[in-house]
C-alpha cells in the first residue's frame, strides 16, 4: 500500500479535507478508530494535524486516513457536552492569537486565563489581540490599558486593534508569514473579519451580534485552516463560549501561571498548593499586588473545581 502525507485543513469530526504536499485537496474519512496521546476526544483529528493517507479510496470515493503523525503541540479544552471528553481546537501551532473584546461580546478574564493555561501547558506562545477599540469610550480604554499592563507584565504580547478598520494589524502580516497560527475567541469578537483583512484573497463569511445575548452567531462551525497568499496558514476556530481545562494535575497548575512559576519553591512547604497553607509566598505576592487578584482567583477555581463539572458558565 502506497501512503501519501498531507495536512488536515478542515475537520468536522466525521470527514476531513487534507492538503497533500503537492497542494492538491482530498476529501477524507478515518479508517477505524484513531486515538492519540490517550486522549478521549470528540475529534480524534484536528485542523493542523499531519496525516498519512492510503492511496485507496473508500466506497464513496473518499480518501482514507490511516494514521496521524505525532503532534508537537495542540490547544485542547473540555468538551461542553455531557461526556468526559475533550475537544482539540488545533494542532501543530507556531503561535495562538486570542481575540478579546470588552463588549459585544464581553470576554471575561477567567476565559482569557484558562486559554493561556492550556497554551502554556503545551508551550504554545500566545498574543492577545484586544479588538474593537474604535467602539470604546474613554473609560473603556482606561480599563483596557490596565488589562494590557496586567498581561504584558507577565510576558504576553498585547495589541489594541480594530479589525473592522484595519487599525494596528500590520505587525501580524510579518508574524503569520510562513508559519502555522491559530486565532480563537468568543463568537463575535471579529476573528473572521481580521482574517479577511490580513489576506485580500479570502472572503470568509462574518456574522452579526445577537442583540439579546450580545454574542456572535456561529459562522465558523468547524475549525478550518486557510492558506495565506504570503505563505503559511491561519486556523480559524469556532467561537468558544466556555473554556474548560482538561488533563492537568493540580500539582502542576501553578507552573502554567508565569508570575507564579517564578516563585515556586520559595514557600515554607515544598508541596504548597498556595491556597490555605501558611507562609506562602504566592499568597503574599497577591496581598502585595505583585500577582493579580483576578489571575489568582482563576488559579483557585482550577485547583478546587470538580473534574466532572461542565464548563458552561459564560464567565469561563
Q: Which tens digits make up the pLDDT trace of 52-88?
A: 998 777 777 788 898 899 999 988 876 555 455 677 8
Rounded CA separation 4/263 (Å):
48
Looking at the structure, tell me whether residues 111 and 200 fall in a common domain: yes
Task: Tell me the C-alpha distance between 225 and 160, whole Å.
Answer: 24
Which of 203, 236, 269 lies at the terminal end of a domain, its last residue? Answer: 236
Residue with cell 498548593: 273
Q: Where are the alpha helices (DSSP H) in the chain?
A: 109-121, 138-153, 170-175, 191-198, 258-261, 281-287, 293-304
Asked whether residue 37 is assigned to any structural domain, the reply reads yes
Last residue of a domain, one of 186, 213, 236: 236
Count of structural domains, the chain: 3
Q: Do 101 and 177 reside in the same domain of the chain?
A: yes
State the helix-helix crossing angle for 293-304 and 109-121, rounded to 10 degrees. 70
**Residue 244 lies inside a defined structural domain of this protein:** no
98 found inside a domain? yes
User: For each of the chain's 316 residues, which pLDDT tens digit applies?
Assistant: 567 899 999 988 778 999 998 889 999 988 766 655 455 666 788 999 999 998 777 777 788 898 899 999 988 876 555 455 677 889 999 999 999 999 999 999 999 999 999 999 889 999 999 999 999 999 999 999 999 999 999 999 999 999 999 999 999 999 999 999 999 999 899 999 999 999 988 877 655 443 433 444 444 457 889 999 988 999 988 766 666 666 678 889 999 999 999 899 899 998 899 999 999 999 999 999 999 999 999 999 999 875 445 444 444 4
What range defines the domain where residue 103 resides?
93-236
- The x, y and z cell numbers of residue 263, run together, are 516563585
What CATH number corresponds to the domain at position 285?
1.10.40.50
pTM for this model (two decimals):
0.86
The domain boundary, picked from 236, 263, 281, lies at: 236
Amino acid at each position: 500500500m502506497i501512503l501519501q502525507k498531507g495536512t488536515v485543513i478542515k475537520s468536522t469530526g466525521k470527514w476531513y479535507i487534507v492538503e497533500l504536499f503537492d497542494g492538491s485537496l482530498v476529501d477524507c474519512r478515518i479508517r477505524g478508530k484513531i486515538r492519540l496521546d490517550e486522549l478521549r476526544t470528540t475529534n480524534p483529528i484536528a485542523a493542523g494535524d499531519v496525516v498519512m493517507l492510503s492511496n485507496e479510496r473508500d466506497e464513496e470515493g473518499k480518501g482514507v486516513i490511516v494514521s496521524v503523525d505525532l503532534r508537537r503541540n495542540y490547544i485542547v479544552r473540555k468538551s461542553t457536552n455531557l461526556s468526559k471528553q475533550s475537544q482539540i481546537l488545533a494542532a501543530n501551532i507556531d503561535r495562538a492569537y486570542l481575540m478579546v473584546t470588552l463588549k459585544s461580546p464581553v470576554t471575561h478574564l477567567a476565559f482569557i486565563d484558562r486559554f493561556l493555561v492550556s497554551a502554556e501547558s503545551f508551550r504554545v506562545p500566545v498574543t492577545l489581540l484586544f479588538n474593537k477599540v474604535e467602539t470604546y469610550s474613554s473609560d473603556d480604554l482606561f480599563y483596557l490599558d490596565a488589562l494590557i499592563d496586567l498581561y504584558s507584565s507577565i510576558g504576553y504580547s498585547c495589541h489594541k486593534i480594530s479589525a473592522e478598520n484595519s487599525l494596528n494589524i500590520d505587525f501580524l502580516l510579518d508574524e503569520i508569514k510562513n508559519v502555522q497560527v491559530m486565532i480563537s475567541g468568543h463568537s463575535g469578537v471579529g476573528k473572521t473579519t481580521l482574517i479577511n483583512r490580513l489576506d485580500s484573497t479570502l472572503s470568509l463569511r462574518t456574522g452579526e451580534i445577537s442583540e439579546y445575548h450580545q454574542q456572535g452567531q456561529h459562522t465558523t462551525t468547524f475549525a478550518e485552516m486557510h492558506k495565506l497568499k504570503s505563505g503559511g496558514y491561519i486556523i480559524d476556530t469556532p467561537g468558544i463560549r466556555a473554556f474548560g481545562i482538561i488533563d492537568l494535575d493540580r500539582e502542576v497548575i501553578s507552573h502554567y501561571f508565569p508570575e507564579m512559576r517564578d516563585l515556586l519553591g520559595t514557600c515554607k512547604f515544598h508541596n504548597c498548593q498556595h491556597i490555605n497553607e501558611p507562609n506562602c509566598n504566592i499568597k503574599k505576592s497577591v496581598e502585595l499586588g505583585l500577582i493579580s487578584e483576578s489571575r489568582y482567583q482563576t488559579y483557585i477555581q482550577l485547583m478546587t473545581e470538580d473534574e466532572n463539572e461542565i464548563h458552561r458558565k459564560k464567565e469561563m
